[in-house]
């Protein structure tokens, strides 16, 4: 009978975290990484430290994906987002561990955060084919015209994710952006990026097309600055920026008149979300159409 040599214990296989750009998992083009620790200072992993070049690559990927994603039916987008919630539910235990480490929570509290995050994703999935009915519709006008307003996505949105709420806050700012047909470049929490990088793995193995969501980790100010100034970024959510950085990014964003969602003094990510983040990155198109004897041609603005 053979015996097993137990003199050498098996080595742990550490996870290699990577960026998520265009549906692929590249390392930072700079080759840099930085240490991520838990609330007690214990080493958890080396996260990729994205560069300005990585940020520009993510914008290119988001722009390429925008046409197909914004052109999909709202019902289809809802199905895709719901599929992400299914995948999150299936990897619940992994995210409970990562949230507990990232935010210094006990297992039961971390589990409650993960459950709330999955529910939040489902909530936004349910709004994809309903938001147009709420914010659009027919308008009363003087004259023989039909006047209809419909919402359309703004385009490529840069998202500075919350620093402390590494998972629930993250999903609370990303899900509404893509639910309404925009594409996103996400700057993960600098302090606790691992839940965001793992969320990228879920997105890649669900039905979300590559480039719809791109996830970068590293130094927030270094990554966010080129995104705010980028001429092909249409809007920016400053949820995770501190007061000083938010002001700098807002000034940079003004160069091409980006839509800017400013950070709130206190964001309670556990509260039931309203429609503010769904409507924040929508544009309204109004169509005028003559009635009666004026003919069949119409105009829009």
Split the chain (301 residues) into runs of 10 and give each run's mean pLDDT.
Answer: 61 88 95 92 95 97 98 96 96 96 94 97 96 76 71 95 95 97 97 96 95 97 96 96 95 91 83 91 80 53 45
User: What is the rounded distance in angstroms from the CA atom of residue 281 to the CA atom of residue 270?
Assistant: 22
Residues pairing with 24 in the sheet:
21
Residue 300's pLDDT is 47
Residue 295's pLDDT is 47
Residue 288's pLDDT is 73
CATH T-level assignment (fold) for domain 33-300: Aldehyde Dehydrogenase; Chain A, domain 1 (3.40.605)
Radius of gyration of the chain (CA): 22
User: What is the rounded distance in angstroms from the CA atom of residue 169 to the CA atom of residue 105?
Assistant: 15
pTM as predicted: 0.89
Residue 7's pLDDT is 56
Residue 6's pLDDT is 57
Residue 137's pLDDT is 63
Cβ-based neighbours of 163, under 8 Å, separated by 6 or more: 189, 190, 191, 192, 220, 240
Query: In this structure, are residues 280 and 237 in contact, taking their beta carbons and an 8 Å threshold?
Result: yes
Query: In this structure, are residues 188 and 200 in contact, taking their beta carbons and an 8 Å threshold?
Result: no
Residue 2's pLDDT is 52
């Amino acid at each position: 009978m053979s015996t097993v040599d137990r003199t050498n214990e098996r080595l742990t296989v550490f996870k290699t975290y990577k960026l998520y750009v265009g549906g692929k998992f590249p390392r930072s083009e700079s080759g840099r990484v930085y240490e991520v620790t838990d609330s007690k200072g214990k080493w958890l992993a080396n996260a990729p430290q994205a560069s300005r070049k990585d940020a520009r690559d993510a914008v290119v990927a988001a722009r390429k994906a925008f046409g197909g994603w914004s052109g999909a039916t709202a019902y289809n987008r809802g199905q895709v987002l719901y599929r992400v919630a299914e995948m999150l539910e299936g990897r619940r235990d992994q995210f409970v561990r990562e949230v507990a480490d990232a935010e210094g929570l006990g297992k039961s509290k971390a589990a409650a955060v993960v459950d709330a995050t999955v529910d939040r994703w489902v909530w936004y999935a349910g709004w994809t084919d309903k938001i147009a009915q709420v914010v659009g519709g027919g308008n009363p006008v003087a004259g023989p015209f039909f006047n209809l307003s419909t919402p359309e996505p703004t385009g490529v949105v840069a998202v500075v994710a919350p620093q402390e709420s590494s998972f629930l806050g993250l999903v609370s700012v990303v899900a509404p952006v893509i639910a309404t047909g925009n594409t996103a470049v996400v700057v993960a929490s600098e302090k606790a990026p691992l839940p965001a990088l793992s969320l990228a793995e879920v997105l890649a193995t669900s039905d979300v097309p590559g480039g719809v969501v791109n996830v970068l980790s590293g130094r927030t100010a270094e990554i966010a600055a080129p995104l705010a100034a980028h001429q092909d970024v249409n809007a920016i959510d400053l949820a995770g920026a501190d007061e000083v950085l938010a002001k700098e990014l807002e000034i940079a964003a003004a160069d091409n008149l980006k839509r800017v969602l400013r950070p709130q003094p206190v964001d309670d990510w556990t509260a039931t979300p309203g429609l503010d983040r769904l409507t924040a990155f929508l544009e309204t198109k109004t169509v005028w159409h003559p009635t009666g004897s004026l003919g069949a041609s119409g105009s829009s603005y």
